[in-house]
């Protein structure tokens, strides 16, 4: 997902880590949105753990990260 969005935004899949970082920065600035979507309880990540996991290269993106990319770049994404 990050490579596809990097290709769309920068015409360069190699910019995928920049897309990931921008999305993570947006989520950090909008923690209320992340906590609203994050499941709570045993077997689920806290918001902080989620951000730590998503910062790792190779971690697959999900609907929360897709929303964060849209927010970070002020774009609409249709799936």
Interval 37-63: pLDDT, tens: 766 656 667 888 899 999 999 999 999
CATH number of the domain within which 69 lies: 3.90.70.80
Site of tokens 């499941």: 39
- Residue 6: inside a domain: yes
Q: Residue 23 and residue 68: Cα distance in Å, rounded?
A: 5
Q: How many domains does the chain have?
A: 1
In a domain, 41, yes or no: yes
The domain of 8 spans: 2-73
- DSSP letter for 38, please: S
Handedness of CA 7, 10, 11, 16 (dihedral sign): negative
Model confidence, pTM: 0.89
In a domain, 13, yes or no: yes
pLDDT of residue 42: 61
pLDDT at 22 over 80: yes
Within-domain flag for 78? no
Evaluate whether residue 59 is within a structural domain.
Answer: yes
Q: Residues 25-41: pLDDT tens digits?
A: 999 999 988 888 766 65
- Indicate whether 79 belongs to any domain: no
């Amino acid at each position: 997902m990050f490579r596809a969005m990097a290709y769309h935004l920068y015409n360069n899949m190699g910019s995928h880590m920049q897309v990931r970082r921008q999305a993570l920065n947006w989520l950090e600035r909008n923690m209320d949105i992340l906590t609203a979507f994050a499941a709570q309880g045993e077997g689920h990540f806290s918001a902080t753990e989620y951000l730590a996991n998503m910062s790792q290269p190779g971690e697959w993106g999900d609907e929360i990260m897709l929303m964060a990319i849209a927010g970070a770049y002020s774009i609409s994404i249709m799936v």
